[in-house]
Structure 1
């Protein structure tokens, strides 16, 4: 990431939108260590699309599982 940031003319301007869109720091702390992460009944629609690209997707990733090569 450091090398990528060197290519930017104004790194602060490039990272400022991330702060606006970051997940709020509310809610309960995760158990230590987290055993799994779950997403249930998730949908996603691309901007400008009339219908979702994903609908009703559920996923559980257990600690130590590999989800991508």
Structure 2
């Protein structure tokens, strides 16, 4: 089974985080991995930095992560 096709409900994230992500249209691990931490906080403002860190921890168990936030040079 490809972990990227797994629904986010299977990740054992807190239920509130899972519901908020799903309501924003983030349905699979692939959907989640295609986002940056800042993207999540824009799409789902009620998911804060602590929840994003938990998401990253869970993804790391599968060798995955969110996209890296790019630095902005002035």
Q: Which structure has more RCO (C-alpha within 8 Å, separation ≥ 6)?
A: 2
TM-score range normalised by the length of the shorter chain: under 0.3
TM-score, L = length of structure 2: 0.22
Bigger proportion of residues as helix: 2
**Structure with greater strand share of residues:** 1
TM-score, structure 1 as length reference:
0.24
